[in-house]
Amino acid sequence: MKKILSLDELENSEGKTLYFTFNEKIEGIECVEPINAQLCAKMYDDLVQITGHVKGKVILECDLCLEKFEQKIDFELDEIYSKGSLLGEYDESGQEFEIKEGQFVTDLNGENEIDIYDLLYQSVILSFPNKKVCGINCKGREYLTEEENVPDPRLDVFNKIQINPEK
């Protein structure tokens, strides 16, 4: 299932640019429909930028009621990889390239390829909301039975803690 971008192929392509499409379910993510990505890889000396649009539909678990729900994903991808050191020769090349706030550069550590499948897996996971809630009207733990709300006996030790205020 690996989708690999060869840096040699990218460097030898016209305009040092390659376009490709990804349309598959990603292992480890419960997908309702395949993840669709229209991507563009462009090489700038020792930097490789991969941009594009990613969309699909996945199944998440609600943090409040623990029920599964469908979540659309739709985001722009913009990743930068470094083939070599970011310092030194790159500054003298004369070619400008802007790194935006909040953007990171991944060092390829001498690798000559980029795993697109792994890039999309990580990007989709990071696009999930911090608080996954099935809907605005979610009743949360109200739906859980009393049996499931029994306190964990391992936490009883905290009920016995006495805090003496300093005088």
Residue 163 lies in a domain: no
Is the torsion defined by CA of 53, 58, 62, 65 positive or negative? positive
- How many residues are recorded in the chain? 167
Q: How far apart are CA 82 and CA 111, in angstroms?
A: 10
Residue 10 lies in a domain: yes
Which H helix or E strand runs over 127? helix 116-127
Mean pLDDT by 10 residues, the chain (167 residues): 83 92 94 95 90 96 91 94 61 51 74 91 94 86 56 79 75
Residue 156 lies in a domain: no
Residue 152 lies in a domain: no
Q: DSSP secondary-structure letter at 117? A: H
Number of domains in the chain: 1
Which H helix or E strand runs over 17? strand 17-24
Q: Are 31 and 57 in contact (CB under 8 A)?
A: yes
Residue 150 lies in a domain: no
Residue 149 lies in a domain: no
Please give the residue range of the domain that contains residue 10: 4-140
Q: Which residues neighbour 115 within 8 Å (Cβ) at sequence distance 6 or greater? A: 2, 3, 4, 5
Residue 38 lies in a domain: yes
Residue 24 lies in a domain: yes
